[in-house]
Structure 1
Amino acid sequence: MSAPTSSPNRRSVLSAIAGLAAGSTLPLAPSAAAAAPAAGATTATATAAAGRLPMVIDSTDPWHFGDHPAGALTTRALPGTPAVLEVSDGDGVLATLTTGARTVTLRGPKRSFTEQKKPLSDAFDRTLPAGQTGWGSSPGGGRWYTVNGSDADYFLENGRATVRLTTTNASRHALLSDKAVGDVNAAARVSFDKAPTGGPVSLALSFAAQDVNNHYRARLNVTPAGEVQFLLEKELADVTTALSPAVTVGSGFVAFQHWWVRVEKTGDLLRARAWRHDATEPTTWQHSLRDPEADPDKVFTTGAVGVRALASSGAAVPLEARVYDFVIDAAQWTDPPVVSHDTWVRVLPEPFDGAWTSAVEQRISAWAGDTSPDALAYASMYRPFAPAVTDPSLQGAQVLGESGYSPRNAAGTRDIGFDFHDYMGLSWDFPASGEHMEPDAVDPAKADNLHNMDCSGFVRMVYGHHLGIPMVRSRNFDGLNLPRTSKNQSAHGPGVVVARATGQAPSLGALRVGDAVFFDASVPDSGDPETDGGVIDHVGIYVGRDQHGGLRFVSSRRTPDGPTMADLGAKSILNGPADALYTKSLRVVRRF
């Protein structure tokens, strides 16, 4: 069934984003399962996400108490290409319009855009392509990287991640690539394929890991007598210290007996507990203490999360340490990206032709006091912890709310090709006019892709579906419609090219908030020949300068599994180090 192209229910959309603007507590995820706290999580952990809203308006900004516009409007043409008209009122620059483009930047109340880490759950239910070793990438948590032993010692098999222990007193580590995690609540289900003989074996959940020689860990230690001991340790400069005496949590261990380990870190408060998989998770902690280290430089405030396996001296090897589930129920980055400014981005009904007319003046004057959703607000409403909003006029489909990138394939990676209407679960009837259009312009919704969209689908959702730039299914590249792919949006999209370069990043001197930024990011595992390099294969929307001076953009990406302005997988900035992925791969800036 084809969906009408009518606008979303304005009341539902505005109420949801107004809640974001006011900073009120809202649902944190589009499903009850995602929003529910983990079993045994503390109250502080369960409620911490209330401060993770992706966008907040500054209610103390004097803008709220003034007239808009503040007096008569004046204009001046700015030098350079493309041609830009600057509009001012009594308080300064109010708006900028670009000849040939529909997007307009305006002064409004100050807003802050930020992002926090999403929960993740890795069941290791993937089959890596032939020739690949290790554990691959977690669903939304970054890539697993391994330290010590050969590559063949780490592998996936039958829904579990395995570390093969072949020598004694040799630590084996597998850590997620996200090293910016501060406070965290995480758990892992683990086992061994043999009961130990000759010496103990252990599996630990590591956290706040600077590296394999500097981290905390909650360690299950299984003795040859079948006793299961539980320790909370700190390894500092390759020296291990027990932070709390070992606790015996079980006896009679047998091969393949599953145990859970959970850790919680809140500042320097460290907690841990362990329990058998066939028992109920305890409500109390077997270890709970603060790091006694007096030197703050030796207290781990941030770091990666992962596991560490060890066969102690005398233990019979080989044997396998196995991880069946790895879960981060809640986590926070200690230094999340924050972009704060007073720029809003709106869209004219037609491209600006360079003439300052009474009609254009009236529109700018009306927008001067408008706080309805703009491009940045809509873009925020698909990032982590955004609340779900449905539209009765679109068969009750969800039109806003946290989005993924795509479902995982058998290898655990994510495929491209999911558009804005796939997110809503609706087939879409695109205009079939134009000699280059296909006769049947109905695009059916792709099965099993609800609440997911790729990078160009995300841009079409914001600028096309919500803000009204016309879209086509695949053809009719006339410079007015918004094409489906990042490649065609870059070359044939609406508006004007602000900057372009071949084989290197272009100048960012003319960059403005709301511009579409295009990359030759060369994603080799996409299965798409158009992403082999030398071709535009990624697109995002420039959001603004962050607290560290980074020029930050938002885009939908595989590794973070959906729209993000954060740094999981690669930094979402345009002016980072020369070898940073998105800094070096930027090729085109287009103003729609």
Structure 2
Amino acid sequence: MSTSKPAPSRRSALAVLAGVAAGGSLPFAVAPSANAAASANAATPSGTAAAPSGTAATSAGTTVPMAPGGKLPMVADPSDPWHFTAHPSGALTTRVLSGTPACLEVSDGTGVLATLTTGAKTVTVRGPKRWFTEQKKPFADGFARTTTTGWGTSPGGGTWTRHNGVAGDYFLESGRAVVNLTASNASRHVFLSDQLVGDFDAAARFSFDKVPTGAPVSLALSFGVRDVDNHYRARLEVTPAKDVRLVLEKELADVSGTLSPAVTVGTGFAAFDHWWVQVEKSGPVIRARAWRDGTPTPDTWHHSVRDPEQQPDKVFTSGSLGVRALASQGATVPLEARIYDFVVTSADWADPPVVCHDTWVRVLPEPFDGTWTPALEQRVRAWAADTSPDALAYASMFRPHAPAVTDPALQGAQVLGASGYSETDDAGLRYVGADFHEYMGLAWTFPASGESTGTPEARWKGNLDCSGFVRMVYGHHMGIPMVLYKDYDGRNLPRTSKRQATNGPGTVVASGTDAPPSLTALRIGDVVFFDATTDPDDPEATAGVVDHTGIYVGQDQHGGLRFVSSRKTPNGPTMADLGAKSILNGAATDLYTKSLRVIRRF
């Protein structure tokens, strides 16, 4: 069945649904912490990247505002004085800003109210303050992939990197990860690339291919990892007497110490027996337990301790997660240490990205032609008091922990809610191809071009690739007309990031051929395009060709200019740094900083 673009009234209905899903009339309306609110009260965002006044953020160390027990990607403060004052305040005045592209700034009695760009539909409007943040989403790695070396990339948790030994000691085989212990007293480590994990709840399923002789062997769930010489670990040890023990340890500056002494958790170990190790870290408290696979999880923890260290730099409040394998001195080798599952049920970044400002991004029915009219004044006045979802709110509704929202007018299809990127292939790499209507599981007709699609494959449902995410936000929810593979007329929104950059709607703000363009004219809501990947088998991922896109959100608490995009390693839309930093002004070596090529204002 073909389905056309919802009418504006339907988007209004979705605004109500989003508010209901969040428990308030504002999308995700919850009160931020007092510290967070105080840090933003003096801000008067203009929507620009260059002006600090336009991108106020929480100060370092400030508690991130969250809904109770939640990790919602966007929060607003219903006690913000904005909600109790008139909007706009007094008469409106306008002035033309210098520079390119041409912009018209609209002000009321309290400052800049809106900015319109000649040739573009998007308009930045002052509204109540909002906080955009993100927390890590859970993932599970069952190692069901093939790699030529190492363990490859986990499905959403980052890339596994080995430390110590040779590459041949680490491999995947028949749905399990293996560390081949070939030398006595051989310590082998594999860590995930995400180094920012703070509190978490994780478990791993371990085994060995034989009962050790001569000395014990062990597998550990490592955490708070700074490097191989500095980390915590919950170590499952198997002795030649077939006893299974669990000990909680800390390695500091290459010196191992015991946080909690070994506890015998089982006897009679046999080759290929599977054991679970679970670790939970909550603030300074570390808990660990272990049990034989197929038996009930223990009701209590075998270890529950605090690190007694008083010096902050010697306490691992955050770090990577991983695995450590050891054949103790005197153990008979070789033998295989096997990992069958690595499951992170929940995890928080210790320093998540936070963007705070009062800029909202709205869309005109037609591009601004440079003339300020009574009709435009009426529209801007209406937007000044509008708290229905804007482009940034919709973009947030596909990031981790966003609630699901369905649309009765689209056969009950899910139209909002945390999205993935795609399924993985046999090598654990993610397919490209999930467009906005495929996320919803619907066939689609594009009135602008007359193109139609069939019912999408089930594997795309609930997923969005990078250009599909931009189309979902600016096309489906904000109303910019879309096409598939024809009628690239500069008004419609094409399917691919390459075509969006060269033939998309609106106007080019800045561009560079072989280097990043200037960020001077960048404004919140701009669409950013990158030449980020090289793949000889993919013409859309070759040097010199735009192959990735996202939406600029604003400046974070550390000064980073953050964008949100759907990416393979985090498995879906993100404004965080798993796999690569989602910032435009980072170090010259940062992937997205160095590969930015086009900034377009729709």
Answer yes or no: same fold by TM over 0.5.
yes
What are the residue-to-residue correspondences of 1:163-312 with 2, within 5 Å? 163-312=179-328
SS of the residue aligned with 1:448? helix
Q: Is the 8 A contact 2:469 2:566 kept in 1?
A: yes
2:40 corresponds in structure 1 to none
| Aligned AA (2:395) | A
Matched, 1:552 2:562: yes
Residue 399 of structure 1, CA deviation? 0.3
SS of the residue aligned with 1:559? coil
Aligned length: 562
1:51 corresponds in structure 2 to 70
Residue 278 of structure 1, CA deviation? 1.7
Selected match of 2:521 from 500, 506, 510: 510
The Cα offsets for residues 116-155 of structure 1, whole Å up to 9 and x where unpaired, read as: 0101100001112xxx300000011100000011111111
Residue 413 of structure 1, CA deviation? 1.0
Q: Is the 8 A contact 1:522 1:535 kept in 2?
A: no
1:91 corresponds in structure 2 to 110
| Aligned AA (2:489) | D
The Cα offsets for residues 515-561 of structure 1, whole Å up to 9 and x where unpaired, read as: 00000001539x52220221000000000000000000000000000
Residue 184 of structure 1, CA deviation? 1.1
2:446 corresponds in structure 1 to 430
1:500 corresponds in structure 2 to 511
Residue 49 of structure 1, CA deviation? 7.8
Residue segments in structure 1 that go unaligned for 5+ positions in a row: 26-46
Selected match of 2:375 from 359, 370, 374: 359
The Cα offsets for residues 274-307 of structure 1, whole Å up to 9 and x where unpaired, read as: 0000211112100111111122221111100010
SS of the residue aligned with 1:194? coil
SS of the residue aligned with 1:22? coil
Q: Distance in 2 between matches of 1:471 and 1:168?
A: 63
Residue 51 of structure 1, CA deviation? 3.2
| Aligned AA (2:134) | E
Q: Is the 8 A contact 2:4 2:446 kept in 1?
A: no
Identity rate of aligned residues, in percent? 68
Q: Distance in 1 between matches of 2:500 and 2:3?
A: 23
Q: Is the 8 A contact 2:421 2:571 kept in 1?
A: yes
Residue 14 of structure 1, CA deviation? 3.8
Residue 24 of structure 1, CA deviation? 8.5
1:61 corresponds in structure 2 to 80
Selected match of 1:21 from 17, 28, 33: 28
| Aligned AA (1:460) | R
1:568 corresponds in structure 2 to 578
Q: Is the 8 A contact 1:55 1:377 kept in 2?
A: yes
The Cα offsets for residues 372-416 of structure 1, whole Å up to 9 and x where unpaired, read as: 000000000000100000011101100000000011111111011
Q: Distance in 1 between matches of 2:457 and 2:516?
A: 35
Residue segments in structure 2 that go unaligned for 5+ positions in a row: 33-65
Q: Distance in 2 between matches of 1:576 and 1:554?
A: 15
SS of the residue aligned with 2:468? helix
Q: What is the alpha-carbon root mean square deviation over aligned residues?
A: 1.6
Q: Is the 8 A contact 1:78 1:85 kept in 2?
A: yes
2:17 corresponds in structure 1 to 12
Residue 463 of structure 1, CA deviation? 0.3
Q: Distance in 2 between matches of 1:230 and 1:457?
A: 47
2:35 corresponds in structure 1 to none
Q: Distance in 2 between matches of 1:48 and 1:466?
A: 25
1:82 corresponds in structure 2 to 101
TM-score w.r.t. length of structure 2: 0.91
Selected match of 1:473 from 479, 484, 488: 484
Q: Distance in 1 between matches of 2:137 and 2:477?
A: 25
| Aligned AA (2:467) | S
2:338 corresponds in structure 1 to 322
Q: Is the 8 A contact 1:268 1:290 kept in 2?
A: yes
| Aligned AA (1:556) | S
Residue 48 of structure 1, CA deviation? 9.6
2:144 corresponds in structure 1 to 125
Q: Is the 8 A contact 2:19 2:27 kept in 1?
A: no
SS of the residue aligned with 2:418? coil
Selected match of 1:531 from 541, 562, 579: 541
Q: Is the 8 A contact 2:27 2:389 kept in 1?
A: no
Q: Distance in 2 between matches of 1:358 and 1:259?
A: 72
1:260/1:376 CA distance change after superposition, 3 Å: same
Q: Distance in 2 between matches of 1:588 and 1:22?
A: 34
1:252/1:454 CA distance change after superposition, 3 Å: same
Q: Is the 8 A contact 1:4 1:394 kept in 2?
A: no
Q: Distance in 2 between matches of 1:543 and 1:446?
A: 31
SS of the residue aligned with 2:500? helix
> In terms of mean alpha carbon deviation, does 59-68 or 490-499 score higher?
59-68
2:600 corresponds in structure 1 to 590
Q: Is the 8 A contact 2:105 2:116 kept in 1?
A: yes
Q: Is the 8 A contact 1:201 1:315 kept in 2?
A: yes
Q: Is the 8 A contact 1:226 1:252 kept in 2?
A: yes
| Aligned AA (1:269) | V
| Aligned AA (2:166) | S
1:44 corresponds in structure 2 to none
The Cα offsets for residues 159-208 of structure 1, whole Å up to 9 and x where unpaired, read as: 10000000011210011000000111110000001111111100000000
Q: Is the 8 A contact 1:428 1:445 kept in 2?
A: no
Q: Distance in 2 between matches of 1:14 and 1:5?
A: 22
Q: Distance in 2 between matches of 1:514 and 1:70?
A: 24
Q: Distance in 2 between matches of 1:383 and 1:451?
A: 12
Q: Distance in 1 between matches of 2:362 and 2:448?
A: 27
Matched, 1:446 2:453: no
Q: Distance in 2 between matches of 1:418 and 1:189?
A: 33
The Cα offsets for residues 60-113 of structure 1, whole Å up to 9 and x where unpaired, read as: 322111111101111000011111000000011000000000000000000000
Residue 20 of structure 1, CA deviation? 4.1
1:32 corresponds in structure 2 to none
Matched, 1:484 2:479: no
TM-score w.r.t. length of structure 1: 0.93
